[in-house]
Amino acid sequence: MSDEREQRELLATACHILYKLGLSDYLGHPSVRLDAERVLIKPKHSPRIRGMDRMRTEDMVVISLSGDLVEGEHQPPSERFIHTEIYRARPDVQSVVHTHQPMSTLCGIANVPILPLLHVESPVVEKQPIPVFACAELIQTSEQGARVAAALGDHRVCHLQGHGIVSVADTIQEATLGAIHLERLAEVNYKVAQLGREPRVIPHNELQALKRQLASPAGRWAYYAELASE
Q: Which residues pair with 97 in a beta bridge?
A: 30, 167
Query: Span 205-228, mean pLDDT?
Result: 96
Q: What is the pLDDT of residue 2?
A: 56
Judged against a pLDDT cut of 90, whether residue 40 lies above it is answered with yes
State residue 48's pLDDT score: 83
Q: What ranges do the domains of the chain cover? A: 4-229
SS3 assignment for the chain = CCCHHHHHHHHHHHHHHHHHCCCCCCCCEEEEECCCCEEEECCCCCCCCCCHHHCCHHHCEEEECCCCEEECCCCCCCCHHHHHHHHHHCCCCCEEEEECCHHHHHHHHHCCCCCCCCCCCHHHHCCCCCCEECCCCCCCCHHHHHHHHHHHCCCCEEEECCCEEEEEECCHHHHHHHHHHHHHHHHHHHHHHHHCCCCCCCCHHHHHHHHHHCCCCHHHHHHHHHHHHC
Q: What is the pLDDT of residues 138-193, one digit of tens each?
A: 999 999 999 999 999 999 999 999 999 999 999 999 999 999 999 999 999 999 99
Instruction: Write the pLDDT tens digit of every residue in 42-75.
Output: 999 888 887 899 999 999 999 999 999 999 999 9
- pTM (whole model) above 0.75: yes
| pLDDT tens column, 106-138 | 999 999 999 999 999 999 999 999 999 999 999
The amino acid present at 198, given as its one-letter code, is: E
Q: Angle at which helices 142-152 and 80-89 pack, to 10 degrees?
A: 50
Q: What is the pLDDT of residues 76-105, one digit of tens each?
A: 999 999 999 999 999 999 999 999 999 999
Would you say domain 4-229 falls under CATH 3.40.718.10?
Answer: no
In the structure, what pLDDT confidence band is assigned to residue 1 with cuts at 50, 70 and 90?
Answer: very low
